[in-house]
A and B are shown apart, each in its own frame.
Chain A
């Protein structure tokens, strides 16, 4: 096909939106609602996951070195820990800090400390947090196997609980997202079908004058693409506003945020581009494909 032909067909697609504005508006609304339903569910899940991970990151591995570990080894030991894949953060707990912590924990029988001379007997320690709570057990083992490590321990119960919680959340959220996506596809398919049905005669006339299927479908493709793109843009701006509002409300809940970790909620700025591109691409694609697929049954004349 020549460029002039393509230009004409693309122009027809845009023009058709205006000419069939009621049906185009219906398609736009259905696409917008569908995108919002699925998009917000995905964002909810992503944040939920992040919050659970935030909870998990507070679960640490306590690492104790042999008391007679050479000083130069202690000073570079955090580097060795960082070499382990899952290690996110390493905090050095000096003998002095460990002694102070022990003192604060033993409230009764403080007298015992009067018999202790200095804190040299305390081991040097590290508090290690991990990226992935699910593999904390393996990471603990890896750390325990390092030279000079007397003991490395973590609470596997918490890790286990959080892992299960995440699995349940993923399962439920996944099911909801799939169900919403399916409902959306049905709604979109019905709307585009209705939109195309109202123009079936137009399609038949085109067939009678010798138009190929591609020639007939191209304007419908462009029409669906543009409508879907605008629905994607609309969904993005609505999501932005809703997300910002929820984010602000959540941040105002200081106690809640402390429990999950301040950084657990993902700021919109961090995901803005991904959300925008996803909405626009999915909107345009679903709009275009829905429109083209719906023309199929009317092309057989």
Chain B
């Protein structure tokens, strides 16, 4: 029988989210308010919001599951994520913020269109296609996690769990826009950090202490304590490690993360926010991996490693904290789904309807359209989630890399290389995205299961660079890049 305490904690949390949605509503009546919170966010909000968006249920269920399944080999993921977050804030954030402020851009396609002086709206159409397809997959994976979480913790059944998760996030995202998204992400990020600091500590104590835990892991499988895992120092092992590190590449250019930089109040927030973002991701990832490792000693025979967090919370915490853990899992899911929905909605309304098609409508009408589109996209994600139950970790990584490989190479080159051309950028987006999809469908299983981010990112980078070499950069754009560099100054 489900504990009323757990239900009470969950209901209380969901009510807070609804209130945040209502609070955000007053600033969501034009496009800049709905999609980037009027560019008024402070450092601490963008730091936690960025990390909470980037991590999702993958962190709470997937990465703890990885810690459970492969132990120390999961440290390579920590390396990739911490380095990725740090490099994004240090190298990408300030020039990107400067560019998007000059352009009054509120989406990444806005930025690409202005950066390359595009009159044909090709970046808008291409971005919409990529974003919509990947957001559907990503959202479906998160809703799958919602179904699993509700079922594991409360026994609601998978379908009901999917419905409840979507209903709540759709309400506060539709009503409150990006302001509600960012502040709820902040709350969710704090909860996630608290959980991921507490979980491994309690797990290690329950396992009898650090040394007994390590001894138990070694007894189960010595590879759990080896950096190269069961692969050893082989080609497969090196590629597995490289694939794990490559997860961090997405932080450098994924549009759902870059939006936070656009929404910062000013450059100073970016300088201050980076430190907190790095500390936050360290806490997230180290906590998740060690939590999973502790769980391996306590519940060694789990059929699905991705249920280790609910298993541990039910076994070792009183009902109130079990409720908190369910809330944290939901927080992780919602903090990603809300950002994805806003991203996809902005792609349709701002990039396609307002800019590419040139529909002449008031800001209020467009923001209302944005809200409607948000609901439709969420509904499609729901249908996919209800039709197929996939392993969260793999599906999320595919969608994560699809978006990242389309945008990251092009964003990086556009910010740092004056030779980047419009044709090169288009080629980079198409090749990066296509390589990711083709690799997963046709090659991955036969090539050491190499994570698709690696071939996708480098193919996109190479395509953008090569095509740019044979085409002409706009002279005004080149001068503008130099002006941006002068304004932002050297990195170090």
Q: Do A and B bind each other?
A: no
Which A positions have Cβ atoms within 8 angstroms of B? none
B interface residues (Cβ-Cβ under 8 A, vs A): none
